[in-house]
Amino acid sequence: MRTTRLHRCVLLSALILTAAAPSLSTAQDKTEEAKRPAVGEKAQEAPETQQPETPQQPQIPFSLLRLTEPGRRAELRGMEVNHLIREEEKTLASLERLTYEGDNGEAYFDQVGRRVIWQSKAPGQEYDRIYIMDRDGSGKRMVSTGKGRTTCSFFLKNERGFIYASTHLREGPPPEPKKTGGYEWEFDDAYDIFMADMEGKITRRLTDTPGYDAEGTISPSGKLMLFTSQRDGDLDVYRMRLGNGDVTRITSSPGYDGGAFFSPDETMIVYRGSRTADYKDLQIFVCDAEGRNHKQLTNNEAVNFAPYFHPDGNRIIFSSNMDDPRNFELYMINVDGTGLTRLTYSEGFDGFPYFSDDGQFLLFCSNRADPESRDTHVFVAVFDPYWY
Ligand SMILES: [Ca+2]
Ligand SMILES: [Ca+2]
């Protein structure tokens, strides 16, 4: 059951649990699948592994791709899956699928769009780990410590490494996620944010206050980090100057605030926040870089999350279930709250949208390849602004 990626997608998980609770047999099946020796049957049983007929990339038996040296995941490379673009999805000019196994999320490009960092719970693994792959889906490798829970990774500038949140310093096993009503949470107190080099060697601990610290993202200049912290009691967005560690509080409204990103010129911040005690809805907000002039852009009874600025700085892409509680789609809205436009129309989850710096590519996570599955995968689309 999806219980680990509850930080940026905490309410997504909640919705999935309530709206389409996977049966125990699903989890069992997955466990059995993980135990089973990887043989050709895999392709028969899991339709998502059957690739479209692309002459230049003949299908390779999935079993072969699992024969990999330690520390690496030699899955399939990215492959074109244009058949998964729905007719209404005019802004998706072409589509490539980058992951084929496990449950995947929160994928982000590096500064030049050459690599992707993301979190994944591979078959047989108990918790999400952080991975890096090349833009074409090759060279997948785990870069977190392999201990505890991890989430919310993001590249530093200039290939200096990356940040991520991890509980690896805690002694003993992580506690079970707390459950409140139909919702499942994991604001694990042991999360702190760490900096690592490109090989995964931890070079710096960025947070050390008690309580949850996660959801870190790096500003375009590379100098600032936005993150979510419980250091003052509530869950709020904070800004850290990486050079000297100075921290500024960005939000102070009661209730969860997090998942923040800077605008391309670093004058604005977009984040999601909940003003209801039960977290039943989540709205998109913007404010200036100092945490002033907060403005709420969405106002519905839905879960709106994973906002990110389009490189033009005037629009924000995000994921929401506003049109169907069971189905998350991608939307765009102007920074003044006008111009709401729906971009995706697939069955199942579409979320964590992230643009390359030139706006040409849209990275997102979706289970459109197999909506019945609980497994989400990483896709990259050529984004066609003509239709927007
Ligand atoms: Ca708050
Ligand atoms: Ca969808």
* DSSP of 174-212: PPPPEEETTEEE---TT-EEEEE-TT--EEEE---SSS-
* Separation of CA 119 and ligand 2 centre (Å): 20
Domain residues for the domain of 180 are: 10-23+98-346
**CA 259 – CA 279 distance, rounded (Å):** 15
Could you tell me the distance, in angstroms and rounded to a whole number, from the CA of residue 229 to the centre of ligand 1?
Answer: 9
- Ligand 1: centre distance to CA 254 (Å): 4
Measured in Å, residue 349 CA sits from the centre of ligand 2 at 4
Instruction: Look up the pTM and report it.
Output: 0.82
Q: Is residue 61 part of a domain?
A: no
Please tell me the number of the ligand nearest to residue 232's CA: 1
Ligand nearest to the CA of 320: 2
277 CA distance to ligand 1 middle (Å): 11
Residue 38 in domain: no
Which residues are close to ligand 2, an ion, with C-beta < 5 A? Answer: 327, 329, 346, 350
For the record, the structure tokens of 179 come out as 């459950």
Residue 208 covered by a domain = yes
Residue 368 C-alpha to ligand 2 middle, in angstroms? Answer: 7
Cα 241 to averaged position of ligand 1 atoms, centre (Å): 20
Using alpha carbons only, what angle is made at residue 332 by residues 373 and 250, rounded to the nearest 5 degrees?
Answer: 95
Cα 324 to averaged position of ligand 2 atoms, centre (Å): 9
Q: What is the CA radius of gyration of the chain?
A: 19
If one counts the domains in the chain, the total is 1
Contact criterion met (CB below 8 Å) for 299 and 279: no
What pLDDT does residue 78 have? 86
**Is 288 a domain residue?**
yes
d(CA 275, CA 384): 35
Q: Is residue 63 part of a domain?
A: no
The token pair at 211 is 């309580």
For residue 365, the CA-to-ligand 1 centroid distance in Å is 27
Does 132 fall in a domain?
yes
Return the ligand number nearest the Cα of 350.
2
According to DSSP, the residues that pair with 56 across neighbouring strands are none
Q: Is 314 part of a structural domain of the chain?
A: yes
Query: What is the CATH number for 151?
Result: 2.120.10.30
Q: Which ligand is nearest to the CA of 253?
A: 1
Tell me, in angstroms, the distance from the centre of ligand 1 to residue 166's CA: 22
Q: 111 C-alpha vs ligand 1 centroid, how far in Å?
A: 30
Helix, strand or coil, per DSSP, at residue 305? strand
Name which of 23, 99, 89, 12 is nearest 62 in CA terms: 99
pLDDT, averaged per 10 consecutive residues of the chain (388 residues), comes to 38 38 32 35 38 42 39 69 96 96 96 96 92 95 94 96 96 68 65 97 97 97 98 96 98 96 98 85 96 97 96 97 96 97 95 96 96 91 84
Residue 272 domain-assigned (yes or no):
yes
